[in-house]
Structure 1
Amino acid sequence: MANFLDSKTQTYNDLIGNGKIYKVPRFQRDYSWSEEYWEDLWFDILSLEEEPVHYMGYLVFQTKDNEEFEIIDGQQRLTTLSLFSLALIKNIQDLIDENIDSENNKKRITALRNQFLGYTDPASLIPTSKLFLNKNNNDFYQSYPLCIRTPKNIRILKKSEKLIWGAFEYFYKRIKEEFKTKMSGLELANYLNKKVARNLVFTVINVENELNAYKVFETLNARGVKLSTTDLLKNYLFSIVAKRSSTELDQAERQWTSINTDLGNTDFPTYLRHFWNSRNKLVRKQSLFKEIKKQVQSAEQVFALLNELEDLAPIYVSFSNPTDSSWNKEQTKHLQTLKLFRIVQCYPLLISAFQKLEKNQITNLLKDCVTISFRYNIVSGLNPNSMEDVYNKTAIKVFQEQFKTSTDIFTETKALYVDDETFRNNFSTKIISTKRSKKLVQYILIGIENQIGESNFDFLTLSNNITIEHILPENPLENWEETFSIEEQENYIYRIGNYTLLESKKNNLCATKNFEEKSKIYETSKFHLSSKKTDFAEWNPDTLRERQNQMAKIATTVWKINYA
């Protein structure tokens, strides 16, 4: 275990108040905290007046000698705490400028700098830092905040430099306001040294290499602690390119920014894994970094990876937001349906298909993915993780051009296609709550309605006039207890067989009426599900099940792959 990681709890004073150096890897993302995060930290610090300690979360460092540490995760917090310390020192400097306890305050500044920021060279009087930022931010940090120098023209600073300076000014003003009635060098020094530094607590994890760091990230992410595995990968890839030239490093930086801009809110590690699995043997997320390190070891390989990731990022995003010109109307409908199902296991296959298949074959494939997912996931509720292996093997064959048609692809994916009898049986007893999945219920009812009524309603563009009617009402009156006991009501209200489509005004008329009264309204509906498929003398568990069995038979013909 010692070779893997070392974990311990440390105060900010334990962490920074020693002779150790902390460095942000040169390729890690720039400083990005804005006022929202500065304010959160400020309130965390203020909370120390009421609580003995405040927990600040995990920090992950990589070290080989226990003297110099690379910050794998935690640079935003450590940088901001450093800026807080500098802002506090600036307030003490103001007292010196006002000739208030000057000699003692000069000593306090020296002591605080040595403790939390670094020492000042006695000859050049230039501060030497305990904290070094990345290649884009370090020069600015060392030249301005660390030296408490104001930039000549803040407007021309880079975005991250403006944020660094903004954080310094934010804490400078907050500290001045907080101590306006008790401003003294002694109070300020004690606040940083005794209150803040000794009562902010971190869980510190030290690892020996990037692979161990990645394993730590995955473990913590699984526990709900979100760490930046993306930064770790970026550091690895850029470290390879940096060995060649700064020009190529700039190119890699441009491509990395482009990829993340295109992805927007889409999770980068998930995209990377889906891309990787579209052409390589299946890799689970906990092994992805290891596989990339194994296969990407030269600058040429880095750029080959970045080129493809950059080219495909907009397409990947459009899988879950298919609004661009890459997709026709029918393809858009199928992608929107997969989004409704919350199905992403087929994305590696779709990546390969987009690159290798003709457009009409992509349309067929998308339709098949919808049908497979509806039978496998939505109705049968089978384990989605089992789909990954099948889709991975299929994606590789598509990428290698062994499969060129949707029919070819189905020879592999048919393992996921639930047979008619099993599907019909599962559909016959399916419960889907309209409280949680109203759009999904609409989709199912529209699919059946289009089949029996030979209509062409589009669930994506349903008007407000098309509503879901609960034949047994969601909130039934006592008269319904004659046909459904209280227990039966709970079991049957959200059965698919209890749903029908109805015009909005007619739905309002139905309300909680009894079935005999509702039937007369159903007869006038334009929807066959209501006018033709509710023709029962009464509505009870038996007739509900009978209707759902009928719907199951129809569903078997709606969600069907014809070459199965």
Structure 2
Amino acid sequence: MFHVPEYQRYYSWTEPEWDDLWTDLYTLPPDKQHYFGTIIIQKTDETESGGSTGGYGSSREKPINLLIDGQQRLTSLALLVRSMTECLEEIAPETDHEAEILGDVEEMRETLLIEDNIYQLQLLDEEDNKYLEWLLTGHDVHEPERPSQRKMIEAKEYFDEQLDALTASPDVNPVDVATELKQLWETILELELMVYVVDAANPEKATLIFDSVNDRGRSLSTFDKTKSFLMRMAYLAADNEGEAQATIRRIRQSFGEMYNDHQTMLESPYVTDISDDAVQRYHFISYFDWSNSDEYSDPAFLTELKEHVRTLRREDPQACLEYIRDYTNSLERGFNALAKVLDRTGDDDISTLVQRIHRLRHATKFYPLLLKAWPTLDEDGRQELLNAIETYIFRVYSIGNHRSHTGESSLYVRTRNLSKDSPADVWVSKVVSLMNRYEDDSQFRRSLSAADLYSKASSQDLRYLFYFYNAHRADEKGERGGPTLSEAMSNEYTVEHIWPQSPDELPIQDADDYPSPEARYDAYIHRLGNLTLASRSWNSKWGNAAFETKRDEGYVKSKLWVQWDIQDNYDEWSVENIEDREEAIIEFVLEEWETPETRLGGVEEPADAIDQLTAEEQFVLKALRQNTGGAVRRVIHGDVCELPDSPFKEPNSNGTERNEVGSILSRLQNVGLAEQNKHTWSPTDEALTVEVPT
């Protein structure tokens, strides 16, 4: 019997792999063998007692083997065989060979599914294992709660459909179907396998085999290849067998935790799919010393990692081993952090902000930053950071309509360069300063006032804006109700033009400074002041009506404050009223998505920051000015410790003090007193000319 270790990935095959398996087996000529790939088995000293006896009441003991590689194929094969047994049990009574067919069914069941009340294949994840057992024994199963369970039931349904196709014709002979399935079973029994058996005393040797033999089914992900590579290099770098085994066990444990965290991400309502390769890439962006985007693409980042680890092993095996441990721990911390972000699905403030940034569809750009910053921030800090991210996305992408990659590389550089222990105000300041490069308050106002806002901003983003404006107007009136954010962003709602896009009669005759009344009308119909939120059913009835009809008959039947306002406040609709309403909405938007406040955020000139610096910040600036040629944080920390009366006392500490120095350097950078080139800090020209208090 086989146990799938907990450090292996969850069941992940999808239809392309099921289809390959079915096609390979079902279409194989009778005189051919099918190469099923490689199976890696690790023996154990454990056994499991079966339900049948070996005589005089004794139980039959079955040895337990760990399935190191091949679990995806064997799980799929077991589900196929279960579908075959169900099909044969259904058609057997329709033939004159019922006993013989049911005998074949029993052979299939005992060979691959369950024998002596022991399941031949067992998953060490309890929930998934129970689900698989139910599928293999025909129990009614509940709705899948996890992606792996969903894939298992979909695999079973896929194989059921293939077998249903064999019996679908009303003229089909049940004996012919049974014969085909018997031939299919014989094909399965004759599958050609390359089996590697690893002794229980040397489990690490499985890692030396695994990297080069995964040759069937779904290709190994970069993440899986990383796990294999790290275990292999740990084995080669270790001084002795015990050290190797301990490190490999730790790697396996960490990757098992990361598989769990990845499952949590896949269950999140905020993502439709997120690969473990993508999460590993986000981690690489956050922590590695890359030079350009080519280096953090997939799978290039694994190449970078391999080169670094191999170089360390050649130069210093113990340093290599320590790096492998540190990298694994850091990667596990990153997976766990992102899982916790995506698992915030409640109604608290942080969960609401997580929902909001995902509604705006650009959240993944900030995953590297969140992955790095989240673990050390408290709840207030997390809320501040999420608020800054939501404001950035809404300003830059939703309303500013900047290209989807705008600011991405700069954001990644800032994320990489900041210490993971930086306080919230430093993270927020980096987001805000980048946001202001593209959409500061002045530019944001211009973007909101654009004559073609309706064409520039997506319907979803405009509905997002009007949802919050509607809630704001309701709050001002002391009312509740209206659609939820989810409803407003759904197809049930749309953006309405108050002056319709295609009027039966033009409502203005004065061209003013425009070439014609039509040109003047066209210049205003897509402005923010002429837009509002409406239910799709309302808009289909009233959307193209004249303003007077909407005012007297349409808006009174609406359930939205943004439409009632128009009826209550305007007897007519004009260019002046569009401008008036637009200004009111813009004032609300500038307050709702105001520039987040940051420490020293109001400083316009570097010299203006000096009087606002804390004593600790002034000492770090003094130490920085001693390093005009540039220095890493460690050196600056040492220098500041040597200054008379310095509040920093521990030059050899790599903990809280050094992290605080790094945070201060980032603040000095934000106000133009420091500049950074990868890991090197140097004073700006302004920093060298200002007078620092003694």
Aligned counterparts of 1:185 and 1:321: Cα–Cα separation in 2: 50
Identify the match of residue 262 of structure 1 among 256, 261, 264. Answer: 264
In the alignment, structure 1 residue 470 sits paired with structure 2 residue 496 = yes
* 2:116 is the alignment partner of 1:152: yes
1:335 matched to 2:336? The reply is no
CA deviation map 1:379-421 (0-9, x unaligned): 1222332433222233345425566525643575355441334
Shift of 1:378: 0.7
Q: Is the 8 A contact 1:522 1:534 kept in 2?
A: no
Matched, 1:515 2:547: yes
Mapped contact 1:424–1:553 kept (Cα < 8 A)? no
Aligned partner letter, 2:443: T
Work out the CA distance in 2 between the residues paired with 1:213 and 1:231.
Answer: 13
Which residue in 2 is equivalent to 1:535?
570
Classify 1:185/1:314 alpha carbon distance in 2 versus 1 (closer, same or farther; 3 Å). closer
Displacement of 1:546 in angstroms is 7.4
Structure-2 residue corresponding to 1:499:
531
2:532 aligned counterpart, secondary structure: strand
Q: Which has the higher contact order (CA 8 A, sep 6+)?
A: 1
Q: Which runs of 5+ in 2 are unaligned?
A: 30-35, 39-67, 89-97, 101-107, 139-155, 192-208, 236-243, 269-273, 291-295, 311-319, 510-515, 603-694
Gap change, CA 1:272 and 1:398, over 3 Å in 2: same
User: CA offsets, 1:103-160, max 9 Å, x none?
Assistant: xxxxxxxxxxxxxxxxxxxxxxxxxxxxxxxxxxxxxxxxx99988974334474139
Residue matched to 2:463 = 442
- After TM superposition, give the deviation of residue 304 of structure 1 in Å: 3.3
Change (3 A) 1:239 1:30: farther
Is the Cα contact below 8 Å between 1:229 and 1:269 reproduced in 2?
Answer: yes
Q: How does 1:114-125 map to 2 (within 5 A)?
A: none
Matches of 2:571 and 2:487, distance apart in 1: 28
SS class of match (1:278): helix
Amino acid at match of 2:301: L
219, 226, 229: which one aligns with 2:222: 229
Q: Post-superposition shift, 1:289? A: 1.4
Instruction: Verify the 8 A CA contact 1:337 1:370 in the aligned structure 2.
Output: yes
CA distance in 1, matches of 2:13, 2:298: 28
Q: Is the Cα contact below 8 Å between 2:396 and 2:402 reproduced in 1?
A: yes
Look up the SS of the partner of 1:353 in the other structure: helix
CA shift for structure 1 position 431: 1.9
The Cα of 1:369 is off from its aligned counterpart by: 1.7
**Residue identity in the other structure for 1:273:** R
Q: Secondary structure at the match of 1:322?
A: coil
Q: 1:453 to 1:186 in 2, by over 3 A?
A: closer
Cα distance change, pair 182–489 in 1 and its aligned pair in 2 (3 A) = farther
What amino acid is the match of 2:441? Answer: D
Aligned letter for 1:420?
Answer: D
What is the rounded CA distance, in whole Å, between the counterparts of 2:439 and 2:37 in structure 1? 46
What is the CA-CA distance between 1:328 and the residue it aligns to?
A: 4.9
Are 2:303 and 1:290 aligned? yes
| Alpha-carbon offset, residue 433 of structure 1 | 10
Q: Distance in 2 between matches of 1:190 and 1:151?
A: 21
Q: Which whole-Å CA distance do the structure 2 matches of 1:186 and 1:354 have between them?
A: 57
Judged with a 3 Å threshold, the aligned counterparts in structure 2 of structure 1 residues 504 and 241 are, in CA distance, closer, same or farther, namely same
Give 1:182-221 correspondences, 5 Å limit. 182=176
The amino acid across from 1:258 in the alignment is N
Please say if residues 28 and 235 of structure 1, whose CA atoms lie closer than 8 Å, have aligned partners that are also in contact: no
Distance 2:334 2:12 in 1: 26
Whether 1:383 and 2:403 are equivalent positions in the alignment is yes
Q: Secondary structure at the match of 1:158?
A: strand
Check if 1:251 corresponds to 2:253. yes
Tell me which of 388, 398, 407 is aligned to 1:368: 388
| Cα contact 1:501–1:529 (8 A) shared by 2 | no
What residue number does 1:21 align with?
Answer: none
1:278–1:399: 8 Å Cα contact kept in structure 2? no
> CA offset at residue 377 of structure 1?
0.8
1:559 has 2:567 as partner: no
Cα 1:387–1:227 change in 2 (3 A) is farther
Aligned to 2:430: 409
**Is the CA contact (8 Å cut-off) linking 1:445 and 1:501 kept in structure 2?**
yes
Task: In structure 2, give the amino acid aligned to 1:274.
Answer: Y
Q: What does 1:6-25 correspond to in 2, within 5 Å?
A: none
**1:473-511 deviations in Å (ceiling 9; x for gaps):** 889784679999999999988764443257999989956
Relative to 1, partners in 2 of residues 1:393 and 1:536: Cα closer, same or farther, differing over 3 Å? Answer: farther
One-letter code aligned to 2:117: N
Deviation at 1:547, TM superposition (A): 5.1
Counterparts in 2 of 1:385 and 1:426: CA distance versus 1, 3 Å: same
The answer for unaligned runs of 5 or more in structure 1 is 1-23, 53-58, 62-71, 92-97, 101-143, 198-208, 215-224
- State TM-score, norm by structure 1: 0.56
CA distance in 1 between partners of 2:542 and 2:323 (Å): 65
Q: 1:475 to 1:154 in 2, by over 3 A?
A: farther
Amino acid at match of 2:351: T
Kindly provide the amino acid, as one letter, of the partner of residue 271 in structure 1: V
Distance in 2, Cα, partners of 1:286 & 1:463: 36
Taking a change above 3 Å as real, the CA distance of residues 368 and 528 of structure 1, as seen in their structure-2 partners, is farther
1:239 aligns with 2:239: no
Q: Cα–Cα, structure 1 residues 372 and 289, in superposed 2: closer, same or farther, change >3 Å?
A: same
Query: Aligned equivalents of 2:486 and 2:265: distance in 1?
Result: 31
- Could you give the per-residue CA deviations for residues 26-69 of structure 1, whole angstroms, max 9, x where no partner exists? 986477659x88975587479969xx9xxxxxx999xxxxxxxx
> Retained in 1: the 8 A contact 2:353–2:386?
yes
> Conserved in 1, the CA contact under 8 Å of 2:454 and 2:527?
yes
Tell me if the contact between 1:430 and 1:496 (Cα under 8 Å) persists in the aligned partners: yes
Distance 2:75 2:352 in 1: 47
Read off the aligned partner of 1:442 and give its amino acid letter: R
Kept in 2, the 8 Å contact 1:263–1:317? The answer is: yes
C-alpha distance in 2, partners of 1:410/1:319? Answer: 18
Aligned length: 452
> 1:336: how far off?
2.0
Query: For the residues of structure 1 that align with 2:321 and 2:27, how far apart are their CA atoms?
Result: 49
Distance 1:212 1:148 in 2: 27
Per-residue CA deviations over 1:298-326 (Å, capped at 9, x if unaligned) read 554444344344445454134345236xx
Aligned match of 1:394: 414
> Distance between the aligned counterparts of 2:459 and 2:372, measured in 1?
31
Alpha-carbon separation, structure 2, partners of 1:491 and 1:284: 44
Give the alignment's Cα RMSD to 1 decimal: 6.5
Q: Is the Cα contact below 8 Å between 2:497 and 2:526 reproduced in 1?
A: no
CA deviation profile, 1:216-246 (whole Å, cap 9, x unmatched): xxxxxxxxx9973332223223434564357
**Structure 1, residues 431-452: CA drift from partner, whole Å, max 9, x if none?**
2699x845x4333124445677
> For residues 375 and 134 of structure 2, what CA distance do their matches in structure 1 show?
45
- CA shift, 1:515, in A, is 0.6
Q: Deviations over 1:242-292 (max 9, x none)?
A: 643575465345434433343334722222222333333453334221233
Task: Return the alpha-carbon distance in structure 2 between the equivalents of residues 262 and 473 of structure 1.
Answer: 47
Decide whether the 8 Å contact of 1:497 with 1:548 is kept in 2.
yes
Q: 2:440 aligns with which of 408, 419, 425?
A: 419
Secondary structure of residue in 1 paired with 2:454: coil
Q: Rate the CA distance shift 1:430–1:74 in 2: closer, same or farther, 3 A.
A: farther
Deviations 1:351-372 (A, max 9, x none): 3332344543433332222222
